[in-house]
Homo-oligomer: A and B are copies of this chain.
Amino acid sequence: MARRRVDVRREEILDAAVGEVTRRGFARTRVADVAETLGVSTALVFYHFDSKQRLLAAALDHAVGRDLDRLAAAISRPGTDLARLRRILSLYAPQGSAPGWTLWVDAWAEALRNPELRTHCRTLDRQWTDAIAATINSGVEAGMFVCPDPESTARRITSLMDGLSVQATVHRRLSRTQLRTWTREYAAAQLAVHPDALA
Protein backbone atom coordinates (compact mmCIF):
# COMPACT_ATOMS: atom_id res chain seq x y z
CA MET A 1 0.00 0.00 0.00
CA ALA A 2 1.25 3.42 -1.02
CA ARG A 3 2.64 5.32 1.92
CA ARG A 4 1.41 8.87 2.59
CA ARG A 5 2.43 11.71 4.81
CA VAL A 6 0.48 11.73 8.06
CA ASP A 7 -1.58 14.85 7.33
CA VAL A 8 -2.49 13.62 3.86
CA ARG A 9 -3.61 10.23 5.12
CA ARG A 10 -5.58 11.78 7.97
CA GLU A 11 -7.47 13.92 5.48
CA GLU A 12 -8.16 10.87 3.30
CA ILE A 13 -9.49 8.93 6.26
CA LEU A 14 -11.71 11.80 7.34
CA ASP A 15 -13.16 12.13 3.85
CA ALA A 16 -13.90 8.43 3.78
CA ALA A 17 -15.38 8.54 7.27
CA VAL A 18 -17.73 11.36 6.32
CA GLY A 19 -18.82 9.34 3.31
CA GLU A 20 -19.49 6.21 5.33
CA VAL A 21 -21.30 8.06 8.09
CA THR A 22 -23.47 9.77 5.51
CA ARG A 23 -24.23 6.41 3.91
CA ARG A 24 -24.70 4.29 7.04
CA GLY A 25 -25.31 6.71 9.87
CA PHE A 26 -23.20 7.24 12.98
CA ALA A 27 -24.41 4.21 14.84
CA ARG A 28 -23.92 1.70 12.04
CA THR A 29 -20.56 2.87 10.75
CA ARG A 30 -17.74 0.48 11.66
CA VAL A 31 -14.13 1.53 11.41
CA ALA A 32 -13.66 -1.48 9.13
CA ASP A 33 -16.03 0.22 6.64
CA VAL A 34 -13.86 3.30 6.54
CA ALA A 35 -10.70 1.24 6.13
CA GLU A 36 -12.26 -0.85 3.39
CA THR A 37 -13.31 2.08 1.22
CA LEU A 38 -9.71 3.25 1.29
CA GLY A 39 -8.29 -0.21 0.76
CA VAL A 40 -6.22 -0.07 3.95
CA SER A 41 -6.16 -2.09 7.17
CA THR A 42 -8.35 -1.18 10.13
CA ALA A 43 -5.15 -0.98 12.15
CA LEU A 44 -4.09 2.00 10.05
CA VAL A 45 -7.21 3.90 11.03
CA PHE A 46 -6.37 3.26 14.68
CA TYR A 47 -2.82 4.36 13.96
CA HIS A 48 -4.15 7.80 13.00
CA PHE A 49 -7.11 8.03 15.39
CA ASP A 50 -7.00 6.63 18.89
CA SER A 51 -10.57 5.37 18.96
CA LYS A 52 -13.74 5.16 16.92
CA GLN A 53 -15.21 7.92 19.11
CA ARG A 54 -12.45 10.33 18.14
CA LEU A 55 -12.58 9.31 14.50
CA LEU A 56 -16.30 10.06 14.22
CA ALA A 57 -16.01 13.29 16.16
CA ALA A 58 -13.17 14.40 13.89
CA ALA A 59 -15.18 13.36 10.85
CA LEU A 60 -18.14 15.49 11.93
CA ASP A 61 -15.79 18.36 12.62
CA HIS A 62 -14.37 17.90 9.14
CA ALA A 63 -17.81 17.94 7.53
CA VAL A 64 -18.80 20.99 9.54
CA GLY A 65 -15.60 22.72 8.47
CA ARG A 66 -16.30 22.06 4.80
CA ASP A 67 -19.82 23.36 5.15
CA LEU A 68 -18.66 26.53 6.85
CA ASP A 69 -16.02 27.07 4.18
CA ARG A 70 -18.71 27.11 1.55
CA LEU A 71 -20.69 29.50 3.71
CA ALA A 72 -17.69 31.79 4.07
CA ALA A 73 -17.25 31.79 0.30
CA ALA A 74 -20.91 32.74 -0.18
CA ILE A 75 -20.57 35.57 2.29
CA SER A 76 -17.36 37.06 0.98
CA ARG A 77 -18.44 37.28 -2.63
CA PRO A 78 -19.29 40.87 -3.62
CA GLY A 79 -22.85 42.03 -4.19
CA THR A 80 -25.82 43.50 -2.36
CA ASP A 81 -27.03 42.05 0.93
CA LEU A 82 -30.08 40.79 -0.91
CA ALA A 83 -27.89 38.81 -3.29
CA ARG A 84 -25.80 37.58 -0.39
CA LEU A 85 -28.88 36.40 1.49
CA ARG A 86 -30.12 34.67 -1.64
CA ARG A 87 -26.83 32.79 -1.91
CA ILE A 88 -26.83 31.80 1.75
CA LEU A 89 -30.38 30.45 1.64
CA SER A 90 -29.72 28.57 -1.54
CA LEU A 91 -26.64 26.98 0.04
CA TYR A 92 -28.51 25.95 3.17
CA ALA A 93 -31.33 24.18 1.39
CA PRO A 94 -30.89 20.43 0.74
CA GLN A 95 -28.84 19.89 -2.36
CA GLY A 96 -28.12 16.90 -4.51
CA SER A 97 -24.51 17.04 -3.36
CA ALA A 98 -22.41 16.14 -0.33
CA PRO A 99 -22.40 16.01 2.67
CA GLY A 100 -26.15 16.21 2.64
CA TRP A 101 -28.88 16.63 5.12
CA THR A 102 -28.98 13.00 6.18
CA LEU A 103 -25.70 13.67 7.91
CA TRP A 104 -27.09 16.57 9.90
CA VAL A 105 -30.26 14.79 10.94
CA ASP A 106 -28.12 11.92 12.07
CA ALA A 107 -25.77 14.27 13.86
CA TRP A 108 -28.66 15.83 15.78
CA ALA A 109 -29.70 12.46 17.13
CA GLU A 110 -26.13 11.65 18.07
CA ALA A 111 -25.66 15.09 19.63
CA LEU A 112 -28.51 14.41 22.04
CA ARG A 113 -26.22 12.01 23.92
CA ASN A 114 -22.73 13.11 22.93
CA PRO A 115 -21.61 16.48 24.27
CA GLU A 116 -18.64 16.72 21.90
CA LEU A 117 -20.82 16.25 18.84
CA ARG A 118 -23.34 18.65 20.30
CA THR A 119 -20.68 21.34 20.34
CA HIS A 120 -19.99 20.81 16.66
CA CYS A 121 -23.66 20.86 15.75
CA ARG A 122 -24.23 23.98 17.75
CA THR A 123 -21.26 25.71 16.15
CA LEU A 124 -22.62 24.91 12.72
CA ASP A 125 -26.06 26.21 13.64
CA ARG A 126 -24.64 29.34 15.23
CA GLN A 127 -22.48 30.23 12.25
CA TRP A 128 -25.34 29.91 9.80
CA THR A 129 -27.74 31.97 11.88
CA ASP A 130 -25.01 34.52 12.59
CA ALA A 131 -24.27 34.82 8.89
CA ILE A 132 -27.92 35.35 8.08
CA ALA A 133 -28.37 37.77 10.98
CA ALA A 134 -25.34 39.79 9.92
CA THR A 135 -26.59 40.00 6.35
CA ILE A 136 -30.03 41.10 7.49
CA ASN A 137 -28.52 43.70 9.80
CA SER A 138 -26.41 45.10 7.05
CA GLY A 139 -29.38 45.12 4.71
CA VAL A 140 -31.50 46.95 7.26
CA GLU A 141 -28.82 49.61 7.64
CA ALA A 142 -28.72 49.99 3.88
CA GLY A 143 -32.47 50.52 3.91
CA MET A 144 -32.98 47.37 1.85
CA PHE A 145 -34.83 45.34 4.49
CA VAL A 146 -37.27 46.18 7.26
CA CYS A 147 -36.74 43.93 10.27
CA PRO A 148 -37.19 44.75 13.96
CA ASP A 149 -35.09 41.84 15.26
CA PRO A 150 -32.58 40.38 12.78
CA GLU A 151 -31.12 37.87 15.23
CA SER A 152 -34.48 36.27 16.03
CA THR A 153 -35.56 36.43 12.42
CA ALA A 154 -32.43 34.58 11.36
CA ARG A 155 -33.14 31.83 13.85
CA ARG A 156 -36.71 31.46 12.69
CA ILE A 157 -35.59 31.23 9.07
CA THR A 158 -33.04 28.50 9.80
CA SER A 159 -35.55 26.67 11.97
CA LEU A 160 -38.12 26.66 9.21
CA MET A 161 -35.50 25.31 6.82
CA ASP A 162 -34.44 22.65 9.29
CA GLY A 163 -38.03 21.53 9.69
CA LEU A 164 -38.73 21.57 5.99
CA SER A 165 -35.55 19.60 5.42
CA VAL A 166 -36.81 16.92 7.77
CA GLN A 167 -39.98 16.78 5.69
CA ALA A 168 -37.88 16.43 2.56
CA THR A 169 -35.20 13.98 3.70
CA VAL A 170 -36.92 11.89 6.36
CA HIS A 171 -40.58 11.81 5.41
CA ARG A 172 -39.89 12.35 1.70
CA ARG A 173 -43.02 14.43 1.50
CA LEU A 174 -41.59 17.64 0.10
CA SER A 175 -39.79 18.57 -3.09
CA ARG A 176 -36.73 20.76 -2.96
CA THR A 177 -38.43 23.30 -5.17
CA GLN A 178 -41.30 23.60 -2.73
CA LEU A 179 -38.87 23.89 0.15
CA ARG A 180 -37.02 26.72 -1.55
CA THR A 181 -40.22 28.53 -2.46
CA TRP A 182 -41.61 28.42 1.06
CA THR A 183 -38.31 29.50 2.58
CA ARG A 184 -38.04 32.40 0.17
CA GLU A 185 -41.60 33.48 0.87
CA TYR A 186 -41.08 33.39 4.60
CA ALA A 187 -37.79 35.27 4.50
CA ALA A 188 -39.24 37.85 2.12
CA ALA A 189 -42.25 38.44 4.37
CA GLN A 190 -40.04 38.82 7.42
CA LEU A 191 -37.86 41.39 5.66
CA ALA A 192 -40.60 43.22 3.82
CA VAL A 193 -39.25 42.55 0.34
CA HIS A 194 -40.89 40.88 -2.66
CA PRO A 195 -40.40 37.08 -2.74
CA ASP A 196 -39.11 37.22 -6.30
CA ALA A 197 -36.20 39.30 -5.07
CA LEU A 198 -34.87 36.17 -3.34
CA ALA A 199 -35.42 33.81 -6.26
Chain A positions 69-95 with a Cβ under 8 Å from a chain B Cβ: none
Chain A positions 23-41 with a Cβ under 8 Å from a chain B Cβ: 24-28
Question: Would you mind naming 29 contact pairs between A and B with Cβ atoms under 8 Å apart?
Answer: A25-B112, A105-B108, A105-B109, A106-B109, A108-B166, A108-B170, A109-B110, A112-B169, A118-B170, A118-B171, A118-B172, A121-B171, A122-B171, A125-B173, A152-B182, A155-B167, A155-B173, A156-B160, A156-B182, A156-B186, A158-B163, A159-B160, A159-B166, A159-B167, A160-B160, A161-B163, A162-B166, A163-B164, A189-B189
Name the one of B113, B159, B163 contacting A25, with C-beta atoms under 8 angstroms.
Answer: B113
Is A112 a contact of B159 with CB atoms below 8 Å? no
Known contacts A24-B113, A126-B173, A159-B164; 9 further A-B pairs (Cβ under 8 A): A27-B27, A105-B109, A108-B166, A108-B170, A118-B172, A122-B171, A156-B186, A159-B163, A162-B162
Cβ contacts under 8 Å, A146 to chain B: none
CA distance A28 to B114 in the complex (A): 12
Cβ contacts under 8 Å, A125 to chain B: 167, 171, 173
Residue A64 CB within 8 A of the other chain: no
Is B170 a contact of A112 with CB atoms below 8 Å? yes
Residue A111 CB within 8 A of the other chain: yes
Which range contains the number of A residues in contact with the other chain?
35 or more
CA distance A159 to B174 in the complex (A): 11
CA distance A142 to B69 in the complex (A): 51
Residue A102 CB within 8 A of the other chain: yes
Is B170 a contact of A121 with CB atoms below 8 Å? yes
Cβ contacts under 8 Å, A173 to chain B: 122, 125-126, 155
